[in-house]
């Protein structure tokens, strides 16, 4: 009888603890969602309402026309397509080349392997601004300025060191016995990678795709420096241009900028909602073996 009472008491404590945890997490989630909610609210207000002394979290009359003006006053749809184009070019390149590099570091032994890997990781400590001038001069001499090549070439040459590290850690969690069994069946290293390793790497590959998408979608500095033609701007650069360019409207554009920012978040939220499960498992499983 006492044992049953103890078991019931433990279950009740766990139940109460779970409820408290969910409540705290919900409060924390709402707290971190305030900037997004404020952006959406501001995008549906007039500029007078947005700049009023008393803040309005809920617009008196939602101004859906703000979203229409973003697309009619500037070529915002074209800028979104440009950002999406860069993303669609970079994601396959990063996945392919980073996977090949990670596979080499995880499965093969070669002279100076550890040294090369440390050198690769050390590049993450170099500020991007340090390499910017020689990179710009290189692309300028190659006549690549005002093209998307400077923004996409790096993804097809290995991607970033962090992506390689992430994939290498994930590959090391895959048992080598699978490779050995495939070798017995006559498979070569390339066949092992594409037929055995990569199908098991789906969470890590989705994680890499999400991180690359976020990096390219939010990138402002690269497109701002290399792209000169307005119709070639990405959404991030175009939104800044919209803030400063001369238009037929002379009123403040804060509400329209908020509408543009809200539109830019839609692909990010949609991608994360679809791939959240793979993203979390990819990050967790990649750190199991160091």
Q: Is residue 163 part of a domain?
A: yes
Q: Report residue 216's pLDDT band, with 50, 70 and 90 as the boundaries.
A: very high
Q: Is the pLDDT of residue 4 over 80?
A: no
Q: Report residue 287's pLDDT band, with 50, 70 and 90 as the boundaries.
A: very low
130 shares its domain with 270: yes
The candidate with the shortest Cα–Cα distance to 166, out of 276, 279, 282, is 282
The candidate with the shortest Cα–Cα distance to 84, out of 151, 170, 153, is 151
124 shares its domain with 178: yes
38 shares its domain with 170: no
Give percent above pLDDT 90 in the chain: 32
The candidate with the shortest Cα–Cα distance to 175, out of 269, 267, 225, 106, is 106
pTM above 0.85, yes or no: no
Distances in whole angstroms, Cα of residue 5 to Cα of each of 8, 9, 10, 14: 5, 6, 9, 14
Q: Is the pLDDT of residue 286 over 60?
A: no
102 shares its domain with 16: no
What ranges in the chain are assigned the alpha helix state H? 2-43, 47-50, 65-73, 76-107, 113-122, 128-141, 149-152, 161-171, 176-184, 189-192, 198-200, 202-218, 221-226, 235-244, 254-286
In contact, 156 and 274? CB cutoff 8 Å? no
35 shares its domain with 79: no
The candidate with the shortest Cα–Cα distance to 270, out of 227, 210, 196, 215, is 210
In contact, 94 and 155? CB cutoff 8 Å? yes
6 shares its domain with 119: no
Q: What is the pLDDT of residue 109?
A: 87
- Rounded Cα distance, 11 and 13, in Å: 5
Mean confidence (pLDDT) of the chain: 85
Q: What is the CA radius of gyration of the chain?
A: 25
Give percent above pLDDT 70 in the chain: 90
- Rounded Cα distance, 52 and 31, in Å: 24
pLDDT digits (tens, 9 = 90+) for 181-199: 888 888 888 899 998 899 8
- Rounded Cα distance, 138 and 135, in Å: 5
Q: Is the pLDDT of residue 289 over 50?
A: no
Q: Is residue 51 part of a domain?
A: no
Q: What is the pLDDT of residue 174?
A: 87
178 shares its domain with 257: yes
Q: Is residue 165 part of a domain?
A: yes
The tally of domains found in the chain comes to 2
25 shares its domain with 74: no
99 shares its domain with 18: no
Q: Is the pLDDT of residue 288 over 50?
A: no
pLDDT digits (tens, 9 = 90+) for 70-112: 898 889 999 999 999 999 999 999 999 999 999 999 998 888 8
Minimum mean pLDDT among 78-87, 93-102, 140-149, 263-272: which range? 263-272
Which sign, positive or negative, has the C-alpha torsion 148, 154, 155, 157? positive
* Residues spanned by the domain of 221: 68-286
- Phi, psi at residue 280, to the nearest 5°? -65, -45
Q: How far apart are the first and last CA of the chain?
A: 48
């Amino acid at each position: 009888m006492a044992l049953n009472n103890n078991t019931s008491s433990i279950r009740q404590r766990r139940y109460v603890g779970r409820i408290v945890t969910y409540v705290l997490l919900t409060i924390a989630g709402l707290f971190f969602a305030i900037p997004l909610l404020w952006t959406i609210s501001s995008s549906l207000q007039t500029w007078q309402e947005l700049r009023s002394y008393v803040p309005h979290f809920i617009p008196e009359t939602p101004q859906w026309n703000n979203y229409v003006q973003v697309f009619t006053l500037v070529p915002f749809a074209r800028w979104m397509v440009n950002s999406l184009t860069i993303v669609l070019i970079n994601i396959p390149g990063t996945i392919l080349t980073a996977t090949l590099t990670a596979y080499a570091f995880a499965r093969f032994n070669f002279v100076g392997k550890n040294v090369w890997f440390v050198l690769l990781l050390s590049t993450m400590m170099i500020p991007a601004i340090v390499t910017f001038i020689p990179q710009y001069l290189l692309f300028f001499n190659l006549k690549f300025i005002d093209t998307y090549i400077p923004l996409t070439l790096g993804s097809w040459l290995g991607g970033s060191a962090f992506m390689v590290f992430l994939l290498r850690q994930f590959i090391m969690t895959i048992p080598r016995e699978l490779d050995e069994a495939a070798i017995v069946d006559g498979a070569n290293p390339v066949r092992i990678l594409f037929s055995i390793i990569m199908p098991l790497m789906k969470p890590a590959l989705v994680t890499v795709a999400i991180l690359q998408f976020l990096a390219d979608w939010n990138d402002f500095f690269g497109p701002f420096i290399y792209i000169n033609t307005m119709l070639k701007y990405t959404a991030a650069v175009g939104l800044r241009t919209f803030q400063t360019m001369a238009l037929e409207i002379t009123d403040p554009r804060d509400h329209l900028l908020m509408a543009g920012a809200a539109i830019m978040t839609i692909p990010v939220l949609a991608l994360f909602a679809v791939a959240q499960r793979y993203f979390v498992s990819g990050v967790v499983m990649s750190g199991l073996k160091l």
